Amino acid sequence: MGLEPHELSESLLEALEEFRERLQHGQHPRIEEFQLRVHAEQRMEFLVQAIEAEIDFLLHPTVVQDASSSTDDDQRVEPRLELYFHRFPELRICKRSSLELVIFDYAIRRKCGLECGEDVYREMLPEYSEDIARLIKRSKNIIFKSAEVTLAKPPSKNQTTVVEVADAKVSSWKLPTELGHFLLLSHVDSGGMGAVFRALDLRTGAIVAIKVTRRSDSWSVYRFNEEIRALTSLCHPHLVKVYEVLSDASHRYFSMELVEGQTLSAWWHKQHREPRWATLRQYLSDVADAIDYLHCRGIVHADIKGNNILVSRGRVVLLDLGLAHFLGVGLDAESRLYEDRLAGTLAYLAPEIRSRNRPSAASDWFSFGVLLFELATGQLPFSSTICSEEHGLDEHDLDLLDNSKCDPQWKELCRRLLVYAPENRCGAREVLSTLNRTRSTLLSAPSFQGKIPIYGRSEVQSLLKGMIDRPRSGSSFILLRGTNGVGKTRVLSDWCHALKISQRWVIQTTASRYNANRFGFIHSLVQSLVSTSQYQVNLLELLSSDQQDVLRTAYPQLNSADLVASLGFDGNSKTLRKDISEHAAQCFLQWLSLMSRQCPIFLAWDDFHLADAASRHLVTELFRNQPSSQILAVATITEDADSNSGGHCLCMDGLFGTIADSDRAFYQLVDLPPLTTPQMSLLATHIFSCCGIERSSVKPYLARIVNASRGRPSSLFEIIQILLDTGLAPDAWSAKVDLLAQQDPIDFRFQRLSRPQQQILQFMAVANKPVAFSQLQVASRVGPDQLLDDLGELATRRWIIYCDPWPDFTVDIFNEFLRDRILNVTPPDRIARRHNRWVHVLMHEPSPPWEQIGMHLAAAGSKRRAQSAYLEAARCCLQQGNLDAARDLLQRIHQLGTPDDSVSKALQQLEAQLEIKPEQPRCP
């Protein structure tokens, strides 16, 4: 017999009332559990109202906060309507329910002042697109009583990136709705080689951008990987941030920050009031700073233009490093591949690139000059001809510039940037100065660091250089191990430079935490070989036809005619199968081994501890099972001596022990200790000298600066950069030096982080174990987009490490030393609040981890509650038959003091079951 209507209503109301009550108490109830308590006829109605209640609560929390809690604990977790539609597919079937949720979400977000574009909802539910547009238009009038003004679009300009690609066939463009762990929501933009999509990360609920490569020819795959290589080495507020590099069947893609805004050109066309020039100057100053940052890290953007610069919420972001070039030690383009290929936007290309010469930093400043001219005059320069070798801008362009409303300094900067010869153009210092941006010496610039010798490493330098010409009977492996910042990377780079000068074949790469693929490190080796090789190699003589097909399919960039001779291949890859990765990686390493018998191959691997486990295993097999190979590999790993090898600092002795014992390969572990005080003093003096600061000016501070750096060159560079950034003369540094000298370098690095990033690290530090993204989001009350962005930056800066990106996306503090330093600089009362917050989070897990809850309660000073939690944990251990763990937990209860009566009785019962004698001594 069915329920009466009034009984149905009571069932629905009771479930909703209890659901909302638990929400208000911060208990995070699960909609699915309450939905089952409602009759099937009313489950859809309950589902809609429960989602609305949860969205309303997350945007307007009503939980009473502790009076002692700090304001940095009061940030909200932002809900995602897309995630609800993915979680409850039945919602899409009911048009009424879908539209009700859309209008509710739109209205509440507008009242909260949050972004909620109409297109987002229409792309979310394309089947109801017209209804959504009509209802949102009606909602605007109801909520705001006025219609929004639609601004006219700026006139279209030729902003297309032109790429000369011979026989570049485009692969079939069929993308699944779910790409890996991303739900593709809408198309954002397309280019010649791929497309960008707005997507939902199903693990985290964060909205990200997904860039998918569309072409599978060798040049396009090579360029796509170069863009990834560039993005993963950067961390700048005005450059887009990358999160993960992945592949799925035939698709190669990466996730990055979604920057929602308008192009700089479009923004400028909408500005009509006087402050626009001041705002534009600030935006251009930010862009110029980002360009200078790229150059200082040896990267040329090569496609600077208005359409690659977005303005979003008062922030300007430089996008699209798809044509980026890496500079070598001589500040010339590193790769020699595709030298005859013209790529870029014609209207912005520097004359030397049009002449098929390799791009340089000056090429980017020429493009920046074109952008300045366009914004000032409304037209592109050189409309009738290209840049004149003698005069640069012609008379027509000069008249346009003179008649523009920009200030004379701007006009002069355009003239000095838009000249024919690269050596005659002004550089970063003059550009930033004209745009009113102060710039101190950037100590990361390759041209700057090349002037500074390596101190205190003569012994390891001699060892490495001696290996170059030493007769070898097999492969060799040298591992450089040391703490963070002691100069391992610099020693490795110096060795690679010596190899290149002597015309040796060196394949240099850095393991990256961004690459989430199995054998991702092997893939980076392939890309490095393609990018830096000056040799032609022959596949046909070394591998079978099947092995050649596997390599060509998995690594299309190897098909370049500039790199591989006599392939007899059409230059386009086949579909990448999911099961080909391991076979392809094995074939590539076997190929390296075979080639090394013809000429020695040198491998340089930085941050090898970040390489994926599958790649490390194959590398081990290569050195153990290929006795006739002539490969010399030098790798660096980070192991913080202060952490006693704790955390995630990887000791490689176990991994390579089998190699050393096999008598088939030479294996040597070299430890790089911190530099001595005299060595650091010499280094500091040399750095100041390169900055134009005499030793006598800094002599009063030199000892304190050296002591503060703790023997780590990277800390010394950071301290000196901080002093230079003050803009003060050396004789006014005293107070700042005193402040820096009182702190550990880690401490002032922590204090320079943003407040939300400090808060995230504090929660991770007190957790004392890896934490899931979802748990960290609830604990920190940071929205998924911002949390993903902050975690990415913290990982880049070596504060955290990604333990398991799939399926739970787990992160942890990089090592135990960093955990201790974070806790050391955090006030005790804040640490206690962080512990209490974790208790709140863990208590609402489906199966609460009682032992961990007890640990947090004890650390927060709640000893009675901690005893109860440990008692519950002991019961669980007893049920599972883990008697030793149960006894240990009972011992912890006694260590916290005499339990109260209720706990004491239960404790006695458990002790009896475990046969613990009452007279057993207990710790006070």
Residues with active-site annotation: 303
Q: Cα-flanking dihedrals φ and ψ of residue 804, to 5°?
A: -150, 95
- In whole angstroms, how large is the CA radius of gyration of the chain? 31
Q: Which residue type sits at 79? A: P
Encoding tokens for residue 250? 């035939």
Alpha helices in 159-298 (DSSP H): 218-231, 264-269, 276-296
Encoding tokens for residue 226? 């170069």
Burial class (CB in 10 A: 0-12, 13-18, 19+), 602: buried
Alpha helices in 742-805 (DSSP H): 745-751, 755-767, 773-780, 784-796
Contact indicator for 734, 744 with CB cutoff of 8 Å = no
> What sign for the dihedral angle of Cα 454, 456, 461, 462?
positive
Encoding tokens for residue 451? 């002037």
Encoding tokens for residue 400? 């346009």
Distance CA 541, CA 561 (A): 16
3-state secondary structure labels for all residues of 383-397: CCCCCECCCECCHHH
394-400: long-range contacts, CB 8 A cutoff, minimum separation 24: 397/373, 400/373
Q: Quickly list DSSP for 127-162.
A: GGHHHHHHHHHHHHHHHHSSPPPPPPPPPP---PPE
Q: Cα-flanking dihedrals φ and ψ of residue 215, to 5°?
A: -90, 155
Encoding tokens for residue 735? 């107070």
Encoding tokens for residue 214? 């569309």
Distance CA 749, CA 754 (A): 11
The label of the residue with tokens 């569309």 reads 214
Q: Cα-flanking dihedrals φ and ψ of residue 753, to 5°?
A: -75, 160
DSSP character for 172?
P
The label of the residue with tokens 């041209």 reads 447
Encoding tokens for residue 40? 């099937």
For 59, how many CA atoms within 13 A lie in the half-sphere containing its CB? Answer: 21
Contact indicator for 327, 301 with CB cutoff of 8 Å = no
Distance CA 384, CA 114 (A): 47
Distance CA 194, CA 206 (A): 22
**Nearest CA-CA partner of 670 in 628, 637, 622, 717:** 637
Distance CA 186, CA 207 (A): 11
∠ CA 733-738-743 to the nearest 5 degrees?
Answer: 130
Going by DSSP bridges, is the β-strand pair 537-538/564-565 parallel, antiparallel, or unpaired?
parallel
